Amino acid sequence: MTAFWTLFKRELFSLFVTPLAWVLIVAFLLVQGMHFFVLVDHFSTVADVAGDETPLSAFFGNTVLHYVVLFVLVPPMTMRLFAEERRSGTIETLMTAPVSAAAVVLAKYAAVLATYVAMWLPTVLYLVILGRTGALDWHAAASAYLGVLLVGAAYLAIGLCASALTRSQFLAMVWTGLVLLVLFVLGIGEFVARDGTAMHEVCSYVSVWAHMNDFASGLVDSRRLVFYGSLIVLPLFVTTRAVDAWRWG
């Protein structure tokens, strides 16, 4: 546990000592701020809103901007985690230290996940604004943030795995972006495939759009939890095995 916390603090410091994390956080908050402003302005000027859509559900689920931000945000956050250490040779020092491969992987993952959570924390102010101007379903809000956490945690695990499989930060970023894009496009197939077919079932199971719509509506489906749990555990397991392979040559 001591080794984990030491590595966690080291990795967190290395993330914030460079401009990258600060640039990503500022860009993220600017985009989300404009996104929130546009949605609130839309709901305040349009009298007849289709269905049961609310600013909360629109912000977290019914807009492609939410997913574009994740596609742009996650690859650069994770690309350097292992790739840079392998390129610079500092991974050799880390591998000779009395620390397990699992501790190394989990420390790096926890550091980047904490950074991701820190990016989203200021958006809680949006809920405060909505709560002061009208009724707000806090259960749905908590569910929406759970969805954001699960999606982000899964995407970051994929990015960490990609970074462990190459020495190039650029390749790690490209591979992560491609995997996330494939998952998103496969999910879009839910709206294309015919209802009742096996393809439609597969697409709806992996559709992040459908998942976030459910979470933003206050619906926490156990199937979603299993899916994202698997999408987190499997890349972390592969990464741990890769780190073990480096250690034993």
Range of the domain at 115: 2-247
C-alpha pair distances (Å), 58 with each of 24, 147, 148: 23, 14, 14
Contacting residues for 94 by C-beta, under 8 A, at least 6 apart: 85, 104
pLDDT at 110 over 90: yes
At residue 32, the pLDDT reads: 84
Cα gap 187→172, rounded to integer Å:
23
What are the tokens at 210?
């459908």
Contacts of 195 (CB under 8 A, 6+ apart): none
**Domain total in the chain:** 1
pLDDT tens digits for range 162-181: 988 888 888 888 899 898 88
- pLDDT, residue 113, reads 93
SS3 content of the chain, % helix, strand, coil (to 5): 80, 0, 20
C-alpha dist (Å) from residue 146 to 106, 140, 212: 20, 10, 10
Rounded to an integer, what distance in angstroms lies between the CA atom of residue 103 and that of residue 4? 5
Q: How far is CA 35 from the centre of its chain?
A: 18
Q: What is the DSSP letter of 194?
A: P
Report whether pLDDT(153) > 90: yes
What mean pLDDT value characterizes the chain?
A: 82
User: Taking the model in full, what pTM does it have?
Assistant: 0.88
In this predicted model, what pLDDT tens digit does every residue of 15-74 receive, in sequence order? 888 888 888 888 888 888 888 888 777 777 765 555 566 777 777 766 666 677 778 888
